[in-house]
Homo-oligomer: A and B are copies of this chain.
Amino acid sequence: MEIRAEIIEIAAAAKQAVEYLSEASSKAKNEALEAIAAELTKRSLLILKANAKDVECAKKGKKSKAFIERLALTKNRIKKMSDDVRSIIALGDPVGEIIKLWKRPNGLMIGKMRVPLGVIGIIYESRPNVTSDCAALCLKSGNAVILRGGKESFNSNKAIYKAICAALEKSGFPNGCVSFIPTVDREAVSVMLGLADYIDLIIPRGGEALIRSVVEMSKIPVIKHYKGICHTYVDEHADMAMAEEIAFNAKVHSPSTCNAMECLLVHIAVAKEFLPKCVKRLQKAGVEIRGCSRTMAICPGIKKVSEEDFATEYLDLMLSVKIVDSLEEAAAHIARYGSKHSDAIVTNNFQNGMKFLKKVDAACVYLNASTRFTDGNEFGLGAEIGVSTDKLHARGPMGLEELTTYKYIIMGNGQIRT
């Protein structure tokens, strides 16, 4: 079949499944999720076999070690996928929840009821677990999902998708609930992004280039984040030991993730006390430090930071450091160079903490904690469908609630407008 026709058929089936899904009971959805979790474990060997093909191909293609590390599955990782699906069973069902309900002077009761968004398209790079995470989150929130994974994990994704399909069939859910684009052809993506009459929301997950190309092409609303240039500001009233732990964790714990710190801002009053020890510890962990001239004076031997550094998401063991004269200067730096993802202040001063939380415009603003917590699981939302640095609809890690919208329900006893 021609690609265009094939994708439209998939999207139409997804749209049709929405009615079933949006009316499915929490019990039925949870049973389907349990069936998916069981099927993933049952098919471990099949999934590993498919994954081995992908990994071999990636090795031949000289992909980086980190790339292959993200791609490769193990029996344990598949068990983790199952566990993650089960953790979504334990979460509350947002569909049908009445968020608000008020009474008007004329007696009308007006409420907001949570309902699924409809059909969600996920376009992601090569982490196979995204396949099961997104399918499970969408199912629980009553949305149909169309999955388009990276070509490097095509075989793994397909094997995981087949497990999901088998489970859904056993549970009596229609086929269109979870769909999979059965080709690595790029045309499929451009067709998909044009189907605004079928698909309600696109969530791209991956590198900045992928996301920019999706935004450029899409006729459907997109929620996304381009990058994470996250800051930690050590205030003059910070606990020095706590600040060091937080900064070290935010930089070193997982430097290739979007919530890792890329820039450390330090108040001048504590710079001499704080920086030498912290910088030494970071360097010992392999971090290359680039500092402003005042930082260089305190920590000799480090490189000079550039304007470009401040605007760069290193995703690596690199860190820019700047000494500032005030919280306001720190906030202004974040406003200028930040990516509205995750920024933190370390302080014991209540006023400064509250000022920073209010002033900094980012999806997640931290007081006395590591920016590494920006993650659906860590927030208690279950696996996340994505992280948003946009302002409309959802910000930060997106869980089940963020996969819903609301409708107004208005109940009366014959009210008319006069």
Contact = CB atoms under 8 A, between A and B. Distances in A.
Interface of A: 22-23, 96, 102, 104, 108, 110, 113, 115, 117-118, 200-201, 221, 223, 239, 242, 245-246, 248-250, 253-254, 353, 357-359, 361-370, 372-374, 378-380, 390-393, 395-396, 405-418
Copy tally for this chain in the complex stands at 2
A369 B23 contact: no
Nearest to A401: B100
A38 B378 CA distance: 50
A414 B369 contact: yes
Contacts of A239: 414
A368 B221 CA distance: 34
A363 B393 contact: no
Contacts of A359: 23
Interface residues of chain A: helix, strand, loop or mixed (majority) = mixed
Contacts of A115: 361
29 contacts: A102-B380, A108-B373, A117-B392, A118-B391, A201-B392, A245-B416, A249-B417, A253-B417, A353-B411, A365-B409, A366-B410, A366-B412, A367-B409, A367-B411, A368-B411, A368-B412, A368-B415, A369-B410, A369-B416, A370-B416, A370-B417, A372-B417, A373-B415, A379-B408, A391-B405, A392-B405, A395-B407, A395-B408, A396-B408
B395 A405 contact: yes
A231 to B, nearest CB: 14
B417 A245 contact: no
A246 B353 CA distance: 54
A163 to B, nearest CB: 30
A249 B416 contact: yes
A104 B221 CA distance: 32
Contacts of A117: 391-392
B102 A411 contact: no
- Residue of A118, A200, A372, A391 most packed against chain B (CB within 10 A): A391
Given A110-B379, A391-B117, A363 B408 contact: yes
Nearest to A22: B361
A378 B412 contact: no
A19 to B, nearest CB: 8
Contacts of A22: 361
Contacts of A379: 104, 110, 408
A254 B418 CA distance: 10
Nearest to A380: B104
